């Protein structure tokens, strides 16, 4: 099976200094993929800058111009969390374009699946605003390209970043052709992602939120995948699955309180791969979102790619389980509420 990899040093041009979302995230990950010789088994996919027409499938012209103006003016803060530098606009164009290119390669069958190791991330970016470290909504742009440019009718987006992808939800909240499913810690930034946020009009029941309580770990995430993500996917019958792959629910990542391990991410990736094989000819694209503990991020991405390649994954976890062993949380009532809300 062929697996594509999108990466380019241009992503380092989004210079953020000691901001938690910085270039070391993708540099260290690429170093691990190279030293473990995984890159030799991957098909390189050269990113291209997103075309303006593709950006405008998702974002307002004013938003695109604001990001460009901020970067070309030397950089600055677009909100309290989100900054630009002189190279940020170009990096953001190549991040959005890289995910779209990976999606197109998978749709054409040039590769079966792909991982887009891009930054800046995207799932908080709304139609009109940058926020939460995100400039353009990379996965949302790829989904719209898949539908409007390549004629797909059903795109499933699964988001396992620890934060709710409010931008992706807002963009597709009334969209009948995209189902958005999110597992996230709740409450946590940005404060959205309640079960009751389920879509409107033609998008009713096409937004499925799984707001997990703090300290949830592998057990809780896998229950959510098995009891919610799998039946949602089977009901929708997607033609491609796009994944907003944030690794910040790892127990070692201090941006959240979650307790996921590298092995947990590998099992989530395995479920998604099985769904893609069952439902959409294996069409599956992962795009990097969060993940700020450099070692946890690099090894979790590596495990995900091993799953895509059909290799044993998760055997060399340098961090292991949470030091306190974690604790089982009863999420049964939450899952039942979601099942009832969406008539699953």
Residues marked active site are found at 124
Residue the block writes with tokens 């938690």: 20
Residue 15 tokens, joined: 């210079």
Q: Which two tokens stand for residue 152?
A: 């797909």
- Burial label for 65, CB within 10 Å (0-12, 13-18, 19+), is exposed
Cα separation, 295 vs 298, in Å, equals 5
Q: Rounded distance, CA 249 to CA 104, Å?
A: 29
Cα–Cα distances (Å) from 256 to 2, 214, 247, 292, in that order, read 34, 8, 11, 10
Task: Give the Å distances, CA to CA, from 171 to 60, 83, 103, 126, 158.
Answer: 11, 22, 18, 7, 15
Whether residue 242 contacts residue 139, with contact meaning beta carbons closer than 8 Å, is answered with: yes
């Amino acid at each position: 099976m062929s697996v594509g990899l999108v990466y380019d040093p241009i992503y380092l041009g989004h210079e953020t200094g000691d901001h938690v979302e910085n270039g070391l995230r993708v540099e260290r990950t690429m170093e691990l993929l190279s030293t473990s010789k995984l890159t030799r088994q991957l098909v390189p996919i050269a990113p291209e800058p997103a075309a303006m027409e593709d950006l405008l499938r998702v974002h307002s012209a004013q938003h695109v111009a604001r990001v460009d103006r901020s970067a070309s003016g030397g950089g600055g803060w677009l909100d309290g969390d989100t900054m630009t530098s002189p190279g940020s606009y170009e990096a953001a164009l190549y991040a959005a374009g890289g995910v779209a290119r990976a999606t197109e390669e998978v749709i054409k069958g040039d590769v079966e699946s792909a991982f887009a190791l891009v930054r800046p991330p995207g799932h908080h970016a709304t139609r009109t605003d940058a926020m939460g470290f995100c400039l353009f909504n990379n996965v949302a742009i790829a989904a719209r390209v898949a539908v409007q440019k390549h004629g797909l009718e059903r795109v499933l987006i699964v988001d396992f970043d620890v934060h709710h992808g409010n931008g992706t939800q807002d963009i597709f909240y009334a969209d009948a052709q995209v189902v958005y499913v999110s597992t996230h810690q709740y409450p946590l930034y940005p404060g959205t992602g309640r079960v009751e946020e389920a879509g409107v009009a033609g998008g009713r029941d096409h937004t499925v939120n799984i707001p997990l309580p703090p300290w949830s770990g592998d057990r809780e995430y896998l229950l959510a995948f098995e009891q919610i993500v799998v039946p949602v996917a089977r009901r929708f019958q997607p033609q491609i699955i796009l994944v907003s792959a944030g690794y910040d629910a790892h127990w070692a990542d201090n941006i959240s309180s979650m307790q996921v391990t590298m092995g947990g991410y590998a099992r989530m990736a395995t479920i998604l791969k099985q769904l893609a094989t069952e439902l959409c000819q294996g069409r599956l694209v992962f795009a990097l979102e969060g993940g700020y503990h450099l070692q946890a991020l690099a090894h979790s991405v590596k495990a995900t790619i091993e799953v895509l390649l059909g290799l044993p994954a998760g055997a060399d976890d340098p961090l292991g389980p949470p030091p306190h062993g974690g604790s089982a949380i009863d999420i049964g009532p939450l899952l039942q509420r979601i099942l009832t809300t969406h008539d699953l």
